[in-house]
Structures are given as C-alpha cells and as structure tokens.
Chains A and B, each alone.
Chain A
Amino acid sequence: MPAVSKGDGMRGLAVFISDIRNCKSKEAEIKRINKELANIRSKFKGDKALDGYSKKKYVCKLLFIFLLGHDIDFGHMEAVNLLSSNRYTEKQIGYLFISVLVNSNSELIRLINNAIKNDLASRNPTFMGLALHCIANVGSREMAEAFAGEIPKILVAGDTMDSVKQSAALCLLRLYRTSPDLVPMGDWTSRVVHLLNDQHLGVVTAATSLITTLAQKNLEEFKTSVSLAVSRLSRIVTSASTDLQDYTYYFVPAPWLSVKLLRLLQCYPPPEEPAVRGRLTECLETVLNKAQEPPKSKKVQHSNAKNAVLFEAISLIIHHDSEPNLLVRACNQLGQFLQHRETNLRYLALESMCTLASSEFSHEAVKTHIETVINALKTERDVSVRQRAVDLLYAMCDRSNAQQIVAEMLSYLETADYSIREEIVLKVAILAEKYAVDYTWYVDTILNLIRIAGDYISEEVWYRVIQIVINRDDVQGYAAKTVFEALQAPACHENLLKVGGYILGEFGNLIAGDPRSSPLIQFSLLHSKFHLCSVPTRALLLSTYIKFVNLFPEVKATIQDVLRSDSQLRNADVELQQRAVEYLRLSTIASTDILATVLEEMPPFPERESSILAKLKKKKGPGTVTDLEGSKRERSADMNGAAEPAPANTSAASTPSPSADLLGLGAVPSVPTGPPPSSGGGGGLLVDVFSDSASAVAPLAPGSEDNFARFVCKNNGVLFENQLLQIGLKSEFRQNLGRMFIFYGNKTSTQFLNFTPTLICSDGLQSNLNLQTKPVDPTVDGGAQVQQVVNIESLSDFSEAPVLNIQFRYGGTFQNVSVKLPITLNKFFQPTEMASQDFFQRWKQLSNPQQEVQNIFKAKHPMDTEVTKAKIIGFGSALLEEVDPNPANFVGAGIIHTKTTQIGCLLRLEPNLQAQMYRLTVRTSKDTVSQRLWELLSEQF
C-alpha cells in the first residue's frame, strides 16, 4: 500500500477517536463502537489478507475501545501475527495488545511463547526487550514454565546489554513471584549478587529489586549481598550531588536505588563484621544529618526524594533495633515531621512511629509525642492521616497513658469517618481490656462505646465484656448498677440491651437491695424494651427472665404471666415459642433447689485469646497486628490484666454441676445471641486448678497480679501464657529451702532465638532471698519446652517477689516479657499442730499491738467452708480443728523458716456470711511477717 493511504489509515484511528468524543450520549457512543467492532471483525475475517499496517491500526482501535470499558473478545490472533512480524512497529503493538488483554487460551499462549522464544534468541536487544516485557507483564505460569530456565542465563551473560539485563532481572523477579517453584536457585545467584557492583545504576536498581525478593526466601544464599549493598549505599550517600549525573534527581543522588538498597538490608539482621556495620551506621548517620541541612532546592521533588531515602533509613534503623542512639535520633526526626506542613510527611511519620513504638529503646521517646498525635486526630483534614494517628495511639498505648488514649479515641469516635469506626471500636475495646487497672473503668468504657457507636459493635465486643464481668467478681455489682442506669435512657442501642439483659440476669441480685432497682423495676425496665427488639435479643431476654425467676421469687408470678401470654407462647418464631414454653414449665414444676441448680450463675469462661483481638487481626491482616501485639514490651502487670478467669478458687467453690450448662445463656446451640458456649468450661478449669503437674497444654490464663496470687496457696500450674510462650511452674519447699522448676514452652512453630530468662531480685530482696540457677539453651525450637531449675534459700523474712524476665527473638521481632515469680514468704511455712489450750496461750503471748495485724474485708469469692479450709492448708499453716469456740471460724498455726530465724505464726479467720465479710487476724513475733502474711492470705478469699 502507498504511504499516503497509511497516513489516511492512522487518520482513520484519530477520526474514530474524535467521533467517539463527539458522541452526545452514552447510547450514541455504544452505537458507534459497535459499528466499529463489526467493521473490524469483518476486516479480520474477510478474504482479503490485511497488511501489517492495517492490522496495527485496527488493533490500536481495539485497545482504545477496551480502554473505554468494552470487553474485547477477538483480535488476539491478529496481535500474535503482529508480534511475530519482523517489523518493529508491528511487533511492538502486537506485544502491547497481548500484555493489556491477557488471554489464557492455551493455543494462543503456545503461539505467543513461540514468538517470544524467537525474539529472545534473536540477539537483537530491542526485540529481546519487547519479549522480556511481555513475559513480565503477563507473568503467567505457562510463561514461567517456558522461560524460567532461560532468563537467568540472559541476565548473567557477559555480553548482554545493560537495558536487556535490567529487563531480564525484573522479568525473573516477576516469574519468581508468580511461580517460585519454577525458578530454582543455581550458579547464577552468586553472579546476580555481583550485579550490585555494576557500572550502570539502572542495572543495579533492577538487580537490587530482584535480590530483595529472592533473599526473603533464601537468606543464606544471598548473604553476601549485605556487604556489597552497604558499600554501594555508602558510595551513593557520601557522593556529591554532581557525581552520578543522570541518576541524581533534584539534587538527591540516586534516591530510588538508595531506597531499594535500604530495603534489601531490611531482609537481614545488622551486619556482623564490625567494618561493614560501622560503614552502615555511618551511612545512616549521614542520611539523618542531611535531613537537618538546609534544602538544596525549594522544589517539592527535592524534599520528596530526600525524605524517601530518610524514611527508608529510619525503617532500617527500626528493623535492626540495635542502636539506641540511632533509634532516638530517628524518633526525634519523626517527631519533627509530625508537625511538618507537608501532609505526606505527617502521614509517613505517623506510620513509621507505629513501628518505632514497638522498640524497647524508643517506646518511651515515642510516648512523648502523645499530645501531637492526639492533636492530629482532632485537627487533620485528611482521613488517611487520622487513621494513621489512631494506629499510632494504639501502638503507643501502655498502662501509663491508657486512660487518656482511650478517652481521646472515644471522643474521636463520635465524629469518625464511617469507614474506620468498626476498627476504632475494636481498638478501644482491646485497649480498655488490656490496660484496665480498675474494672469499673473498663465497664464504663465499653458501655460508652456502645452508646457512641452501637451499630459498629461487633458481637465479639459485647461477648467479651460479658465474659470479663462473669470472670471477675469484683466488678459484677458495679456492672449491674451501671447497665441498669444506662438502660434508663429512653432510647438505647440494642447491643446495650443485650449486655444489660445478660448482666442483670446473672447479677441483678447484687443491686436488688436498692429500692430504686428492685427486682420488679429491673424486670419492667427490660420488658419495656422487649417489643422493640430483634428476635435474637428477645430470646436472650427470655433467658434473663427465667434467671430472674430463680434470683427473685417475688417476681415469679409476673414473669410467668409474661411467658404465658399469647405473644410468647404462640409466637410465630419457633425459638421464642420454645423458650417461652420450656421456661414456663420449668418455673412451674421445678422445686426451688432444682431451679437454683439449673439457673445457677454462669461459671467463669475458660480463657482463650481475646476474640476481639482475633477479629482485629482478621480485619487488618495477620502481619500488622501481630507486630504490634507480639512485640509490645509488657511489664508483668500489663500482661493481659483482664484475660484470666476469676481467681480460680471460686470455681472450685461453686462446683459447677454439669446441668449448669443446660440452660446456660447462649449455650443453646440454636441461639446465636449468647456468648460462645462455655460447656465444660467450669469443669476444665477445676482440673487445671488442682492438677499437680505443670502440664504444658493446660489452657490456663495469662497471668498478672491475680495469677501470682493464685500461686500463693499452690505450687504448680501455669504462670503465664500468651500467643507465643507458656510458662509453667512446679515447686517444692522444705524448711528454708526450695526448688522451683520453670518450664518454658514455645507455642509457635518458629524457633525462639537468644532466649534468655533472667531472675531479678530488688536490692532489698537480694539480702533476704538467695536464688541460684543455670542459664538455659538460647534456642528454643518451635513446639519445644525447656526447663530451668531455681534453687531457693530464704535468708530472712521478705515481702517482695522476684521478677522473671524473659527476652527472646521471635521472627524478626524482639520479645520481652516480665512476670512476678510466686516465691512468697508463706512457702517456708512448717505447719504446727497444737491443742486449743496451747493455741490460746500463745495467742495471748503475742498480744503486743505490733505483732498483730487485723482487718476486715469483703469476700471476693463465694464463702465455702471446704474451699476455705483447703486454702488455709495450701497456704502452709496447720488448720486447727476444734480450737475456736465458734465452729464457723478457722484457725491456723505454723512456723516460718528462714536461715537466720524461725517465726511462729498464728492466724484466725472469722467469716460473716450475712455481710459477706471476713475478719482476718495474724499474729507473729515479727511485725513485718504479720503484715506480709496478712496481705498474702487476705487476697485469697
């Protein structure tokens, strides 16, 4: 064809495009496109063979139509013809069409692969480049099968041109991403590493990308890249901006390559060789220094490029987590950015600080920025930035600032964007639980959460508050009172009604003494909202009513009337009807005793990972949250304060009968409203409490102060547990000596490295308590358990407890856990039996006011005689029967052995069942001992 007509032809494309653009309506446009498609189809199918140029024009039109959002299901064959052509322009458009409109037709792929093979073998760099582009863009498994063997050869061949090397490196990277199994490591890997020394910076950049991805899976194989990357980086960072001419971008030398090299180094721990390490530190310092220099250009591109390198350097510093000096500088730098006028920098600073917050060296430094971050939450115009601020507040939260952060998040929630409300709700719920010192605060926070964002409360959140209230008897009365008050509001969220119904059903009796919340008032309040609720909530409320029948016999008749009404007994919903019928029968025929047994208070929930935490992880992807959670340094007291079941002794007291679950709220499988079924929960716990082996699999709770308290009266059990680690104890004591076996179980499938448990005694404690132990193996294999023996000698009486600190590396992150080790003074008790007369004689001898500690306190657990006896014996003293004239009282006697002295101890516990109070008196010959024993024992009831 003559050249002119070709010109006309391309004009045909331009005219077609302007036709489309001139279309006044969508319909007209579709009509014009369909006309064109029909035309192209007929040309392609026509008898007359099309020349390359026409094909090119039509393929171009198809691409344009595709861009407008129309599906193109033909033209592939013509494209394959084009890419097989020897003419560059035809080949180019053919490859473009195939890469944009990927088609998995295997016949077609075979043809394409064939053409690619020819081009790769052509030794024409332009054609090779096109072919490599096509492989990388399509990146299918078929292509990997065909070319994964060939490309490494091209990449490392000595005579390959730079531009082809660049393409080959990225092409290989793409194939490795789609099908790593098809790209086996081989001789070529070491030569790829040496590309880091290449003259051409484009080749180095592409090779760095490739190595970074390969190294993640083959750390050992690419280890040598570290020193090469460091020296390359050092040459760039220290160069004047006039070197590296072309790769200097707005006065910043090779910013992209620097970023890539810093990323590569993040695959590895800090370099071991001092020279390399020193050089790297120098580089990082230079980058940090440059940030303080005045900008070389006012253009935003200059500061962008400079800061891209800076942020990546900070990421590397955080990743290494080993140079406190650099970490603090990084933190200060980010602190400056938090107030920068550029929104992008504020965003990135918030993001980087999140990871910095989990480093032990910089956590405190990050915390100093709390006001700025809170301010960002309040004033940023951009939701992306506010979201980062929420993340950072979550990451920097610890016991010292939890109340402030939770309060700020709650107030932000009132105006927060809908898209992130659910996540904020989860975060608030987790923080409130984790850092609750005072559980009344926790209950208030969650109820506030429901009030502010009721619609965003997922089931996990309200399940959790109920679990916690049930497991902690110290908060039950408060919770009942608070929900009762919250329910007074004329309009309250259905989630509040669920929580309120459940809690009043269990603990309504705790507030029933107040005439303002008498049983009838509680019932009327709940029932006034009953008709507005969904079926699952109504089902839950029916269960509350039957629980009321047991708790408050005086409202039984009223509730029976309600159950008997047609709207319940004949309710169209099967579940509601069944509940009404069954509960009505139960209330009519069962004796009070049976009712009391069947409708007994729910046993504590067995502990497990917080369901809300699991939910947040699911929402955010496993990586992000684990990092935050897993690597957060925890002081022992911070450790999941809430996550243990009620101090275990209670469950022993209440001896959950198997029938308790029969009607347990929510344990009815067909009802989706209740918290997760707790079948066997109480029973299981019972076994754990008294099991005498520190079984590694016992599902006992992570510990804290209460967990510590639980060991006062027993010697064996699980002291601590989180997602990674479990610590079990087994100990024995005789006179002033003791031996404790500590079992560390790795719950993950990954090795723990640098595993170092340390026993820490405060100065005061050291002179009174002698602990000796040997270090354990620093590597704990996945699933393995290691044992450590501690020999204990009590030198004198003491009141503090040693701290067990465990540090290790898990994956890339540093873990640090501290728990209080339950070595308490009463462990050195020797029981002493004596007759009534002897007891009172000695009792009188110890009548000096300093020798006695006496106080009255409220019972925290049900007052069960047998359990109390077991505890006093477990405490170590002898339990003296028939000594006290009042048979309801308990008295005990024993001798505390220390190396220097022996101290006789007498104790007396007087329960007052009516008032649910105890009076505990401890008399010993030494005031500090009396005080300490009183503290330890009074915690147990």
Chain B
Amino acid sequence: MIQAILVFNNHGKPRLVRFYQHFPEEIQQQIVRETFHLVLKRDDNICNFLEGGSLIGGSDYKLIYRHYATLYFVFCVDSSESELGILDLIQVFVETLDKCFENVCELDLIFHMDKVHYILQEVVMGGMVLETNMNEIVAQIEAQNRLEKSEGGLSAAPARAVSAVKNINLPEIPRNINIGDLNIKVPNLSQFV
C-alpha cells in the first residue's frame, strides 16, 4: 500500500502532499521535512529506493522517488508494492500531468493544486493503484473538464489567471519538468534566490 505521496521542490517547498494514513498536521509537516532531507543528500543516478524515515513506518516502509528538474516525487510504500512498479507509476503520473498541462512545470502544480489532486486521484485511490493506463487516465480527466465546462466554463478562468501571473516578474523562473529518458542528466540549474 502507498502510505503517502509527497512532491516538493529542490528547496523542500511542498507542492503536493497526500497521506493515505491519518497523521496529525504537525507530523505530516515533519514527515515532509524529514523526507526532503533524506532525498536531498542523495546524488542523482544512485538508487531510487531508500529505507523509510523514522516517522513513517520505519524500516518496513520504503521511499521510492524520482527527481525531475526542480521537483522530487516521493512515494512512501510498504513491502506489498513492487519497487520498480511504483517507480514506473511515478513516471505515469508525471507523464499524465505533462499531457494534461502541456509541458508541465512547477508553477502548474502550484496554481492548479486542485487539478493535480484530481489527476492523482485517477491514478491512486486510498493508497492503492487504481489505473496505470495513461490514455484511460487522460480520458477521465477530459471527461471531468467537459463536465466543468458544462457547468459554466470555469476551467478557462484559472488558466487565464495563470497566464497573467506567469507574466508577472516572478522570483522563481519555472522550468519545464523533463520527463524524457530519466537517465539523462538534468543540467546544473542556476540557483535562484
């Protein structure tokens, strides 16, 4: 079972946090911080699995993660899941995000938090893998969009808002998440303050 799904950026800012086991708010934050420190100190291109942190289940659990440009996607799972399977599931999730947002970047996750949750819900439900077929997932999301549109064309509004915001002089320059072959090295990013 998947215990938690955490997405945070290279600075540890949470971008998507989803727990499938109840933890008090404060513990949730500690888990995010602990997990961030665990994966941050790891080089790229070493193993994508590590023992769970002390807060979330201990050694019975594993953290399976992938690092895409500015974002870490971390799934905390127990031993009933296949490690490589989950690794591919992360890829499916990210590829789906990429399809739905057309070149997804960190900003999309920030400004469309609700949408990201909805996409995730089509992939993982209550900690269990619901669907792995990307076409199916995308079809579900498109059906949702149609329903939204039929209820007043709301989906266009946030998109407009985002494009407006994107043109504001932002302190962080968004980068597209590279979802290509994971073996390619992410170029050294200039540090933005």
Contacts and interface: CB of A to CB of B under 8 A. Distances in A.
A618 B15 CA distance: 36
Nearest to A343: B47
Contacts of B10: none
Shortest beta-carbon contacts, A-B, top 9: A136-B126, A308-B84, A14-B161, A174-B126, A382-B46, A343-B47, A11-B161, A7-B157, A10-B157
B82 A174 contact: no
A166 B131 contact: yes
User: Most chain-B CB neighbours within 10 Å: which of A89, A202, A259?
Assistant: A89
B187 interface: no
B176 interface: no
A572 interface: no
Given A88-B147, A100-B117, A255-B88, A173 B133 contact: no
B158 A96 contact: no
Given A256-B85, A301-B88, A202 B153 contact: no
User: Most chain-B CB neighbours within 10 Å: which of A60, A166, A382?
Assistant: A382
18 contacts: A3-B153, A11-B164, A14-B111, A14-B164, A14-B165, A21-B170, A64-B113, A100-B18, A102-B22, A132-B125, A166-B130, A202-B133, A249-B92, A256-B129, A256-B132, A308-B88, A311-B83, A383-B50
A21 B110 contact: yes
Contacts of A72: 25
User: Most chain-A CB neighbours within 10 Å: which of B14, B132, B165, B183?
Assistant: B132
A500 to B, nearest CB: 34
Contacts of A7: 156-157, 160-161
A932 interface: no
Interface string B27-54: 0010010000000001101111111000
B171 A312 contact: no
Given A89-B147, A174-B128, A304 B152 contact: no
Interface string A338-359: 0000011011100000000000
Contacts of A346: 47
A14 B113 contact: no
Interface residues of A, number: 81
B157 A18 contact: no
Interface in A357-410: 381-385, 387
Contacts of A202: 130-133, 136
A72 B26 CA distance: 11
Contacts of B172: 21
A102 B19 CA distance: 10
Contact of B84 (A53, A205, A348): A348
Interface in A72-96: 72, 87-89, 92-93, 96
A179 interface: no
Given A67-B17, A255-B85, A382-B47, A246 B136 contact: yes
A384 B50 contact: yes
B91 interface: yes
Interface in A411-460: none
Interface in A465-519: none
A71 B29 CA distance: 10
A768 B59 CA distance: 55
Contact count band on B:
35 or more
Contacts of A66: 25
Interface string B47-70: 111110000001110000000000
Given A11-B161, A177-B1, A69 B82 contact: no
A93 B152 CA distance: 16
A201 interface: yes
Given A300-B181, A300-B182, A343-B46, A133 B121 contact: yes
Contacts of B144: 88, 92, 126
A830 interface: no
B53 to A, nearest CB: 11
Contact of B82 (A21, A67, A93, A312): A312
A300 to B, nearest CB: 5
Contact of B49 (A167, A307, A347): A347
Contacts of B160: 7, 11
B47 A384 contact: yes
Nearest to B87: A304
A246 B110 contact: no
Contact of B133 (A246, A308, A344, A383): A246
B154 interface: yes
A724 B148 CA distance: 62
A63 interface: yes
A18 B168 contact: yes
A230 B156 CA distance: 48
A299 interface: yes
Given A14-B111, A100-B18, A171-B125, A6 B154 contact: yes
A68 interface: yes
Given A11-B164, A263-B80, A304-B88, A89 B148 contact: yes
Contacts of A382: 42, 46-47
A170 interface: yes
A259 B85 contact: yes
B114 A93 contact: yes
Interface in A612-629: 620-621
Interface string A253-288: 001100100010000000000000000000000000
Contacts of B128: 136, 170, 173-174, 206, 209
A347 B183 contact: no
Interface string B114-144: 1001100100011111111101100010011
B187 to A, nearest CB: 18
Contacts of A177: 1
B126 A137 contact: yes
